[in-house]
Structure 1
Amino acid sequence: MQGESLRLWDPLVRLFHLSIAGVFVANYFFNEAGNDWHVWLGYYAMAWLLVRSVWGFVGPRSARWADFWPTPQRLAAHLRSLLKGKPQHRLGHSPIGALVMLLMLLALLVIGSSGFLMQEVDVLWGADWPLQVHETAADVLLALVCVHVLAAVFESIQVRDNLPLSMLTGRRKRLPEERAQ
């Protein structure tokens, strides 16, 4: 049963992930700040953020906030397991992965909010602080994305499962101890 797998990420979570990743790459690296594509992709990302926020309450178990919320107890247990060299392998986000994911969503919200303020609020026209907030949040998000990608590769090696591929396919390998349950 080498190829046995189980469903993990639902289509909405996968489409959200790919959409946000695509928008971020396009707007950070290719679209000129303030041009029409940059603005409309920003609105698209904010719409996805709203959908994903609601989906965290009504979606399947692996998409729900309660399933992976990084409580202090979950974070401490995960950190202990990493320090002992015995990684926790669980469906969905690890507690530290969930924390990074929530920080990325927060950075995305700050980017969208500051972009909206720059674009739509006339009283702020010419003010420097929304642009500074926007650029700083985008740089923070880039750093978090790098941490996210490196951690996904690192954890994939540790737990012997291709976690980035599971986000594309929605499925992940079933481990021997999971088969026994």
Structure 2
Amino acid sequence: MRHSVTLWDPLIRVFHWSIAGIFVANYWLNEKGDDWHQWLGYTAAALIVLRVVWGFIGPRPARWSDFFPTPSRLKAHLAALLKGRDQHRMGHSALGALVMILMMLCFVGLATTGYMMEEIDRFWGVDWLEELHGLIANTLLTLVVLHLLAALFESVRLKENLPWSMVTGKRRERGQQERE
């Protein structure tokens, strides 16, 4: 029998949906470099700092130590996927954690290059920096698409609505959980 357990605390959920909204707004809705684009970029940078800190002081599912994608965790997760085995974790899978960290690093790269282009005079109008900013944004878009597809795939495979758990904070607990 399965029952719901609290998994994602409010800070994690607000972070997730805020950073997702900022990405959508800055990638598709805001004019590149306008005030809204910049302020949302600064907000994303502040959210990333908050999330990094929360990874050390927050509840267990939010902590880096709980899900950091070590080589052994990645190897075990990949082996389970290739063998079609269910490797149920209440938090991020090793591959999910890797993609999450890569997305966060992309936000750091966007904040850094955006700040350089707008606030440091010697970099204003520098083509390579604008191209790098665009490349990072497109890389982030690719990672977001992978994240969405993986969430849908795992939801079908596990017969559980994983995106909904990021809304409610709850997830159905299943039998034996993978702890490593």
TM-score, structure 2 as length reference: 0.95
Contact 1:78 1:87 in 2 (8 A): no
Q: CA deviation at 1:126?
A: 2.0
- Per the alignment, residue 40 of structure 1 pairs with 39
What are structure 1's unaligned runs of at least 5 residues? none
Structure with the bigger RCO (C-alpha within 8 Å, sep 6+) is 2
Q: Does 1:54 align with 2:53?
A: yes
Q: Does 1:123 align with 2:122?
A: yes
Q: Does 1:82 align with 2:81?
A: yes
- Per the alignment, residue 6 of structure 2 pairs with 7
Distance 1:127 1:27 in 2: 20
Distance 1:50 1:156 in 2: 29
Superposed CA offset, 1:120-172 (max 9, x none)? 00111221122111100000000000000000111111122111110111000
What are structure 2's unaligned runs of at least 5 residues? none
Distance 1:119 1:72 in 2: 38
Superposed CA offset, 1:42-97 (max 9, x none)? 01111101100100111010001111010111011111111111121111100011
Identical positions, percent: 56
Distance 1:94 1:34 in 2: 35
- Per the alignment, residue 107 of structure 1 pairs with 106
Amino acid at match of 2:168: T
Distance 1:30 1:126 in 2: 22
- Per the alignment, residue 174 of structure 1 pairs with 173
RMSD (Å), alpha carbons: 1.1
Distance 1:177 1:91 in 2: 10
Q: How many residues align?
A: 177
